Chains A and B, each alone.
Chain A
Amino acid sequence: MTAVLVIEDDDRIRLALLLALEEEGYTAYGAATAEEGLRRQRENRADNVLVDLMLPGLDGFECIRQMRRDDDVPIVVVSARDDTHDIVAALEAGADDYLVKPVAIKELSARLRALRRRGRTLVAPVPAQVFGDLEISPDAGEVRRAGQRVAVTRTEFRLLCELAEHAGRVLSRQQLLQRVWGYDTGDERLVDVHVGRLRQKIEADPANPRHLVTLRGLGYKLQR
């Protein structure tokens, strides 16, 4: 069974979410603070984490950042805040997706499912691809730069695999949203922030990317 950790300080929201997620077939447990959530995740790792941004003590942004240090679990922000600033900050901290309250449980479930997929879009075994000093092994789920293994989250990895599969060709933000996040229409900032995070990890000079390049008004392309 898929386990979901819900970090939410509002007791009623947490309780309702837990009830609804269990009804959907998840094993769900909650935490009222970021500290409690981080501890629970260390002790008993969940497959998905839902985080609210406004938390007492450590806030949601810091919670995501700390969890990301040693965990590639898909993290979804569920917040009542919908400012661009908050969305970008949460994604940059390491969140995989951002949902604005109130979110329907069906939608939430669909998002979690999409994020848990790991390379399932790739049917046949795919050989490792090399882009200069960058080596991507879809089957092994590994990325190496100059021989060193790079720690990427599942979402970052899937984004990279999609781009590698269409190496040399441009993929639009909407195409990437569809393929990686499973959105029909979604927020393109999701793609932009993830590409930025990925560049920090795979590019020698993230400000002047050599492999993962932007084509203005069109999308992104991975090249040698």
Chain B
Amino acid sequence: MTRLGLRARVTAAFAVGASLLAASMALFSYDLTRRSLLDERERAAVRVAYFDAAVVRTGLDTDAPDVVEVLRSLDTGSIRRPLLHFNGRWYGRSADIGASSIPGELQQLVRSGEAGVQRVRLDGQPTLLVGVPLSATTSYYELTSLREVEQTFQVMALTLTAVGIMVAGAGAALGWYATRHSLRPLTAVADVAERIAAGDFTTRLDPATDPDLNRLSTSFNHMVDQLVRRIERDRRFAADVSHELRSPLQTLAAAADVLTRRRGHHDERTATAAGLVADEVARFQRLVDDLMQLARTERPAQRESVDVAALAGEACRNRCLPEDLVSIPPGTPSRWLVDRRRVAQILLNLLDNAVRYGGGPVAVHLRVRDGTGVIEVDDEGPGVPAQDREIIFDRFVRGRAAHARADTNGTGLGLALVAQHAAAHGGRASVTDRPRGGARFRVELPGSLP
């Protein structure tokens, strides 16, 4: 499970706190209101029942009482229903109530001469039962429907729930708002960090006016300063080393050239040795060139409008490959906003890589997808095993094929440069399988189209 963000958590805490508070308040007030309402209702019901019982008692106080008529004479309205137990028989105004409506304990209590009150559920309706003993053989009961009260409770519960939800929502909103303010410095740090990661090393956090936040911005800026100094030192070191290597290399290159030209004048062993020197000097030279390039790649890309299709054709020509390797779908603009030198090198290095390890390139595809320029170089070689697809873009990593064929022409920096040039454009380099076998190296250059 992914962990929630700080802001989400604070907001949730506010919401839970608010809803807990609202719920307990609601429960408390609901319970209080309910109890006092029911008590009030009960008292009223008992009072009325006693009054009705008195009326019934008077009505029965004759020689031949008409029980039904007596009950009918009661003014009970629709919510109260009388029930009389008289000389072992039950009388009610309707047939649906009778002895079964009154629980046994209440009957016993009333028969023993005491009045009783009980709340029951009758046919699904909340009902209040009041029993009043009239004589040893006569008991008067009154059933009062509590439906209206129950409805009032329902409305009240609904209202309180709605209020509770609103309070929880308000709590969440408050939390969101509060965190937005308290997290603003963090947002600023994130923005600045992103800009720095994108290569803008001049960005710093504004020193905060808030003393609590001042430490954050100060130490953050200090960290960035250190980082920039370190990057600059590394870059300068790489540049210095390469620079110092260049002068002796110039001597070696020129001298090796003389040796190569005079091959015919040497005996065989000397010629072989001279050939080795010349080859290694050439490789050394490429290595220093690539190292210099790598030291320079930290700089941001200098974008301009470049005809990439023409550039790709040029790169093919440069490597003595047919220009018709390059394909661009009809309607795709071939002018991209990219760094010409970097893209030229991406193309050359990918072609070299295909020649060296993939038996030569079979296609160079240029596409544009959502403003991102995509360069793909396909070969028909053995492909790149899945576990090597990340590290192949690291420095000084050469494919297994390189060891198998003892090919030592590569510097081991070509693909690292490709990846760095792609990164300078905010893009990336990757390798996949070519649909019909072989490897497909892909470079994505976002922002290629305005």
Q: Does B314 touch A at the CB level, under 8 Å?
A: yes
Q: Does B344 touch A at the CB level, under 8 Å?
A: yes
Q: Does A126 touch B at the CB level, under 8 Å?
A: no
Q: Which chain A residues (148-166) contact chain B, with CB distance < 8 Å?
A: none
Interface pair A102/B285, CB less than 8 Å apart: yes
A10, A12, A15, A24: most-surrounded residue (chain B CB, <10 A): A12
Q: Which chain A residues (93-109) contact chain B, with CB distance < 8 Å?
A: 100-106
Q: Smallest Cβ distance from A107 to chain B, in angstroms? A: 10
Q: Does A113 touch B at the CB level, under 8 Å?
A: no
Interface pair B288/A184, CB less than 8 Å apart: no
**Please, which residues of chain B bring their CB within 8 A of the CB of A184?**
314, 317-318
**Please, which residues of chain A bring their CB within 8 A of the CB of B262?**
23
A101 vs B248: C-alpha distance in the bound complex, in angstroms? 9
Q: Smallest Cβ distance from B382 to chain A, in angstroms? A: 31
Interface pair B258/A19, CB less than 8 Å apart: yes
Tell whether A20 pairs with B255 under 8 Å between CB atoms, given A185-B318, A217-B305.
Answer: yes
In chain A, what residue has the closest Cβ to B288? A102
Convert B248-260 into 0s and 1s, putting 1 for each residue whose CB lies closer than 8 angstroms to a CB of A: 1111111101100
Tell whether A80 pairs with B257 under 8 Å between CB atoms, given A185-B318, A185-B344, A217-B305.
Answer: no
In chain A, what residue has the closest Cβ to B310? A174
Tell whether A13 pairs with B251 under 8 Å between CB atoms, given A20-B257, A23-B258, A80-B246.
Answer: yes
A188 vs B314: C-alpha distance in the bound complex, in angstroms? 16
Interface pair B247/A101, CB less than 8 Å apart: yes
Tell whether A104 pairs with B261 under 8 Å between CB atoms, given A80-B243, A80-B247, A217-B305.
Answer: no
Tell whether A19 pairs with B249 under 8 Å between CB atoms, given A80-B243, A185-B318.
Answer: no
Q: Does B178 touch A at the CB level, under 8 Å?
A: no
**Please, which residues of chain A bring their CB within 8 A of the CB of B249?**
101-102
Q: Which chain B residues (343-391) contact chain A, with CB distance < 8 Å?
A: 344
Convert B211-249 into 0s and 1s, putting 1 for each residue whose CB lies closer than 8 angstroms to a CB of A: 000000000000000000000000000000001001111
Interface pair B314/A16, CB less than 8 Å apart: no
Q: Does A36 touch B at the CB level, under 8 Å?
A: no
Identify which of B250, B304, B340 contacts A102 (C-beta below 8 A).
B250
Interface pair A82/B292, CB less than 8 Å apart: yes
In chain B, what residue has the closest Cβ to A21? B254
Q: Does A39 touch B at the CB level, under 8 Å?
A: no
Identify which of A19, A24, A103 contacts B250 (C-beta below 8 A).
A103
Q: Smallest Cβ distance from A87 to chain B, in angstroms? A: 13
**Please, which residues of chain B bring their CB within 8 A of the CB of A12?**
248, 251
Q: Smallest Cβ distance from B246 to chain A, in angstroms? A: 4
Tell whether A105 pairs with B257 under 8 Å between CB atoms, given A13-B247, A17-B250, A82-B292.
Answer: yes
Q: Smallest Cβ distance from A33 to chain B, in angstroms? A: 17
A75 vs B340: C-alpha distance in the bound complex, in angstroms? 26
A223 vs B81: C-alpha distance in the bound complex, in angstroms? 113
In chain B, what residue has the closest Cβ to A188? B340
Convert A114-139 into 0s and 1s, putting 1 for each residue whose CB lies closer than 8 angstroms to a CB of B: 00000000000000000000000000
Q: Does A169 touch B at the CB level, under 8 Å?
A: no
Number of chain A residues whose Cβ lies closer than 8 Å to a Cβ of chain B: 25
**Please, which residues of chain B bring their CB within 8 A of the CB of A100?**
246
Convert A179-219 into 0s and 1s, putting 1 for each residue whose CB lies closer than 8 angstroms to a CB of B: 00000110010000000000000000000000000000100
Convert B386-412 into 0s and 1s, putting 1 for each residue whose CB lies closer than 8 angstroms to a CB of A: 000000000000000000000000000
A103 vs B288: C-alpha distance in the bound complex, in angstroms? 12
Q: Which chain B residues (302-331) contact chain A, with CB distance < 8 Å?
A: 304-305, 311, 314, 317-318
Tell whether A102 pairs with B255 under 8 Å between CB atoms, given A184-B314, A184-B317, A217-B305.
Answer: no
A40 vs B4: C-alpha distance in the bound complex, in angstroms? 78
Identify which of B243, B250, B252, B314 contacts A81 (C-beta below 8 A).
B243
Interface pair B246/A105, CB less than 8 Å apart: no
Interface pair A16/B251, CB less than 8 Å apart: yes
**Please, which residues of chain A bring their CB within 8 A of the CB of B255?**
16, 19-20
Convert B119-133 into 0s and 1s, putting 1 for each residue whose CB lies closer than 8 angstroms to a CB of A: 000000000000000
Q: Smallest Cβ distance from A28 to chain B, in angstroms? A: 11
Q: Smallest Cβ distance from A18 to chain B, in angstroms? A: 8
A16, A100, A184: most-surrounded residue (chain B CB, <10 A): A16
In chain B, what residue has the closest Cβ to A17? B254
Identify which of B251, B254, B304, B318 contacts A217 (C-beta below 8 A).
B304
**Please, which residues of chain B bring their CB within 8 A of the CB of A24?**
261
Interface pair B250/A13, CB less than 8 Å apart: yes
A105 vs B281: C-alpha distance in the bound complex, in angstroms? 13
**Please, which residues of chain A bring their CB within 8 A of the CB of B318?**
184-185
In chain B, what residue has the closest Cβ to A178? B314
In chain A, what residue has the closest Cβ to B317? A184
**Please, which residues of chain A bring their CB within 8 A of the CB of B253?**
16, 102-105
B253, B292, B317: most-surrounded residue (chain A CB, <10 A): B253
Q: Smallest Cβ distance from B148 to chain A, in angstroms? A: 84
Pairs across A and B, CB under 8 Å, 24 listed: A13-B254, A16-B250, A16-B252, A16-B254, A16-B255, A16-B258, A17-B254, A19-B255, A23-B257, A23-B258, A101-B247, A101-B250, A102-B250, A102-B252, A102-B253, A103-B250, A104-B253, A104-B257, A105-B253, A185-B311, A185-B344, A188-B340, A217-B304, A217-B305
Ranked nearest first, the 7 interchain pairs of A and B with the lowest CB-CB distance are A16-B254, A102-B249, A20-B254, A80-B246, A102-B250, A105-B257, A101-B246
Write the residues of chain A forming the contact surface with B, with a CB cutoff of 8 angstroms: 10, 12-13, 15-17, 19-20, 23-24, 78, 80-82, 100-106, 184-185, 188, 217
Seed contacts A10-B247, A10-B251; 17 additional CB < 8 Å A-B pairs: A13-B254, A16-B252, A19-B254, A20-B255, A23-B257, A23-B258, A23-B261, A80-B247, A101-B246, A102-B250, A102-B253, A103-B253, A104-B282, A105-B254, A105-B257, A106-B257, A185-B344
